[in-house]
Copies of this chain bind each other. A is one copy, B any other.
């Protein structure tokens, strides 16, 4: 229901902050005959920091050939100014694999939003270490692959996942996948991985976080979506949200509220990622939303 605009490219740039960078990029886009329809910039420091830019520009009648030329022009500029960059066509659907264990709330919420075109992406595969959700997934016409994982079989399991997905997907979403992905896997999959988990103020380490939160009597429950890194739950944060609870709410209800938050926060993070609104810098994100 929310269609990305046609013939619209999105350029994302990270580079050292030097005089004239915006002018140079803007001039390059103008020379393409394109019109910038939205743009945001950010510098970490007034002088000599890192500079970030996201620009959406409209190129009426965009063809593949034309796109190649655009890429070549930007590449030339990038070499000159030490820019890291990426260019995406917003109307092109990104390909995603969703990893899940047994809890279906995040998975189904994503499938549903895709089904109703609220998330502009193709779910290539759902991968699970449990067979439970096959039927729910296949209902949406999405392939479901069960890859069991035990402590002993983890390397083979990750190898199967890599064989299945590497090179074929633009990003991976961990929609309550209760296994830690190894640094080795993250390297080899070669694309961003988005994860979602509960958060509290203060944080609770260890098992049964909702029971811990209940014993401490927290008044807010939270959820955080972030990019997965080797340090579990320590990757760059994309989005967070909290919701109010009271002493009347037992651990089950806290978890229920947590699920509602996780659905909404993950959907926002995926949406912004799809629209190339998120740039990772060191261990944090710039989110041009």
Which residues in A have some Cβ–Cβ distance to B below 8 Å? 1-2, 5, 8, 17-27, 29-30, 33-43, 45-47, 49, 55, 58, 60, 104-105, 108, 112, 116, 118, 139, 199-203, 214-220, 222, 224, 233, 236-242, 244, 246-248, 252-253, 256, 260, 264, 267, 282-287, 289
Contacts and interface: CB of A to CB of B under 8 A. Distances in A.
Contacts of A27: 20, 23, 26-27
A217 B238 CA distance: 8
Contacts of A45: 37
A237 B252 contact: no
A47 B116 CA distance: 27
Contacts of A46: 5, 8, 35, 37, 58
A43 B108 CA distance: 35
This chain: copies in complex: 4
A223 to B, nearest CB: 9
Contact of A116 (B49, B104, B220): B104
A161 to B, nearest CB: 27
A151 B182 CA distance: 46
B39 A40 contact: yes
Nearest to A108: B112
A38 B30 contact: no
The 4 lowest CB-CB distance pairs between A and B, nearest first, are A217-B284, A23-B26, A199-B201, A20-B30
Given A23-B27, A220-B242, A248 B38 contact: yes
Nearest to A18: B35
A209 B216 CA distance: 22
Contact of A43 (B22, B23, B37): B37
A250 B23 CA distance: 25
Scoring A105, A215, A220, A233 by chain B CB atoms within 10 A of each residue's CB, the highest score goes to A220
Contacts of A224: 201-202
10 contacts: A18-B35, A22-B39, A23-B29, A39-B40, A42-B248, A215-B282, A220-B222, A220-B240, A247-B287, A260-B267
Give the interface centre of A36, A215, A218, A238 by most chain B CB atoms within 10 Å. Answer: A36
Contact of A247 (B39, B42, B264): B42
A169 B117 CA distance: 34
Contacts of A20: 26-27, 30
A41 B36 contact: yes
A216 B283 contact: yes
B222 A201 contact: yes
A68 to B, nearest CB: 21
A203 B233 CA distance: 12
A40 B37 contact: no
Contacts of A43: 36-38
